[in-house]
Structure 1
Amino acid sequence: MTTATAIVAGHGLALRRSLLLSKPICASFSARALPPAAHSCLATVAAAAAATPSTRTCRCRSSVSSESSTAETTTDDEEEEGNLDADADTDEEEEVDPLAEVCYLDPEAEAEGIREWELDFCSRPILDARGKKVWELVVCDATLSLQFTRFFPNTSINSVTLRDALASVATSLGVPLPDRARFFRSQMQTIITRACNELGVKAVPSRRCVSLLLWLEERYETVYSRHPGFQRGTKPLLTLDNPFPTNLPENLFGDKWAFVQLPFSAVREEVESLERRYAFGAGLDLDLLGFELDENTLIPGVAVESSRAKPLAAWMNGLEICSMEVDTGRANLILSAGVSTRYVYAGYQKSAATTQEAEAWEAAKKACGGLHFLAIQENLNSDGCVGFWLLLDLPPPPV
């Protein structure tokens, strides 16, 4: 099977055949001749990723930095005593009071620089003295330098309560209100939007609340499950929507697309240079998320070619893109955005070869801990991107 080499953002990406991206129902393989290059590229992606499985560990727990150690030489007894003290401190940090509320700001963080919050306002699998579910507000920023939680009875769930609580986050921690606040539950959109509007904050429905989602996973284990009112097996009151995908708006169509790959080291470079190189795109804090992949591990992605790449990237930038997946049954590429939007982004001619290619791409993504990307280019063979989005598959939170 013929393959080619494309250049994305200055890095070589091996890709299988380019696919037309005019209409999902009409998409077919590009007829342009492709010079022979590397063979079985997507299979290589899957194999390389499988050989280096992701060991992602969420690094969400907050901790205040201790004083720096001195350069003085210590005796063996002093070193052993220090190790014992460190172990004791670690054990003490691991103990979390399930009844306590969090109000934390990293002393090294620049308060004025925290311009975006992530928030959740929902019930928890905890019953109060009346036998009613407890609600909780959880607020953080993308780096978890800011963390705030507060419990509420179910009788005070409204936009006024939320507005006052959000205002108290700023006053309690001595930080300004943010410009934007992301949230991921569509059912709470009315309350959250109204509360934020009254504070002059833009409410953004988005599943790119990665730090918040991972923190909720941790709180489930360290806080909720240890609470005296915890109800094991309780299903979340407000589950995440996963609607049937709809047709892609006309302004979001590209010309061609291709499965591509980037080494993990190159992905890091793209994320670090995102702000200065591209006007459009979004990254993730890979260190915070705890990705411990080999630098040569190939990360799967999708590259899109468009003759109007800049307008396309601008429109895509407003969607809050969170993930892409392949529906091999319907031979479609699905784009998820916002909190409850799914589009049929592209289609392809279904065959044994294309199904194998799509399955290899999904397998590579899974082997990389769900990490993948979307790149928009003026030409698949160009040496730069107009937009670059780092994406991540995450399971829904347990609450």
Structure 2
Amino acid sequence: MNIWQADFYHHPSSSANERQWQLVICNSEVNPNTQITKPIYTAQCLSQDANADWLEQQILLAAAGKLPDKIQVFRPQSLSLISVAAEKLDIKIEATRNTQALKQVLREKYKEHPQYNPILLEKAPPQALPENLWGDEWQIANIAAGQIIDLFRDRPIPINNIPQEFQPINLNLPSDIFIPGLVVYGGTKSMQLARWIEQQTPAFINYIPTEVGKSGGFILETGLVDRWIFNTFESEQAEEIARKYEQNKQASKGLHFLLIQPDDSGMTTTAFWLLKESFDFSS
């Protein structure tokens, strides 16, 4: 499958008189030998020309007769116009934070602007999880990288999301390193909670302390910029466990998981997501 990653945004320009919109397109794959990605097409236009028709023409020029199957977009402000242009050309659009090749290209393109982060997105404060979705209990678990795929890949789990690019072997993770995760026991609400999370498109879960050593909470990040308070606690023991979770996540290159079960019997699993946080100041 031919997958592009694209960004269309008004970045800093050398022209002080006119606001320039920059289109950057690259392939989704990073060169395995050089770990470098170069854009396959760039173009710019003035604000009055920044529309779906202009984008459609640029995509055709970039494709040179071979349109992509899919275009991935990480910036909410880019999504609408690129979606309209892509729809006219029968190209699928995927809104995803997992656009590391494109983010690398943008960082390189604007490295002469050290005070400007071209991949930073504004995020609103996290929202409270709907009360009717609260789970009964939660705990932190760790699974060896060499075992995690075999444990969940072929099980009859209603919602089972294991992206190929997140599998430990494709991240060059040692088989004995531990992948941390959050296990939620949802009781009778397990499926309702799992379906809601799947609809939001989960990205990653991180721990944010409110008082170091005493309290904090887990934040579920979904979609492109949405954030949810997954749970909170006021316990030194829980805070220590959560801090260890973050340390293990750093060691596993951001790889972690979310597991939802009705209870701790291990008989039934409602949902499993293999997630990855990118430590690039934008996620």
* 1:284 to partner: Cα distance: 4.7
Q: Contact 2:8 / 2:78 at 8 angstroms: preserved in 1? A: yes
Q: Give the share of equivalent positions with the same residue, in percent.
A: 20
Determine if the alignment matches structure 1 residue 193 to structure 2 residue 80. no
Give the structure with the larger strand fraction: 2
Q: C-alpha separation between the residues in 2 aligned to 1:253 and 1:118?
A: 36
SS at match of 1:285: helix
SS at match of 2:171: coil
Q: 1:283 to 1:177 in 2, by over 3 A?
A: closer
Q: C-alpha separation between the residues in 2 aligned to 1:298 and 1:389?
A: 16
Q: 1:142 to 1:314 in 2, by over 3 A?
A: farther
Q: C-alpha separation between the residues in 2 aligned to 1:289 and 1:126?
A: 41
* 1:132 to partner: Cα distance: 7.3
1:268-322 per-position Cα deviation (integer Å, ceiling 9, x unaligned): 4357x37985544242514799633321211110011222433432222121211
Amino acid aligned to 2:44: P
1:127-158 per-position Cα deviation (integer Å, ceiling 9, x unaligned): 48x99767232243478899963211232432
Match of 1:374 in 2: 258
Question: 1:1-399 alignment to 2 at 5 Å?
Answer: 113-114=1-2, 118-122=5-9, 127=14, 135-141=22-28, 149-155=40-46, 156-168=49-61, 171-172=63-64, 174-175=66-67, 177-178=69-70, 181-201=71-91, 203-207=93-97, 209=98, 212-217=99-104, 220-221=107-108, 224=109, 231-236=112-117, 239-250=120-131, 252-269=133-150, 273=153, 278-286=158-166, 291-306=171-186, 307-329=188-210, 331-348=216-233, 350-383=234-267, 385-396=269-280
Computed over aligned residues only, the root mean square deviation of the Cα atoms, in angstroms, reads: 3.7
Q: Contact 1:325 / 1:335 at 8 angstroms: preserved in 2? A: yes
Q: Contact 2:136 / 2:184 at 8 angstroms: preserved in 1? A: yes
Q: C-alpha separation between the residues in 1 aligned to 2:41 and 2:204?
A: 30
Aligned length: 271
Amino acid aligned to 2:271: G
Amino acid aligned to 2:81: I
TM-score of the superposition, structure 1-length normalised?
A: 0.57
Q: 1:370 to 1:192 in 2, by over 3 A?
A: same
Q: Contact 1:135 / 1:154 at 8 angstroms: preserved in 2? A: yes
Q: Contact 2:38 / 2:105 at 8 angstroms: preserved in 1? A: no
Match of 1:74 in 2: none
TM-score of the superposition, structure 2-length normalised?
A: 0.77
From the CA coordinates, give the structure whose radius of gyration is larger.
1
Structure 2: tracts of 5 or more residues without a match: none
Q: Contact 2:52 / 2:85 at 8 angstroms: preserved in 1? A: yes
Amino acid aligned to 1:120: D
Q: Contact 2:4 / 2:68 at 8 angstroms: preserved in 1? A: no
Structure 1: tracts of 5 or more residues without a match: 1-112
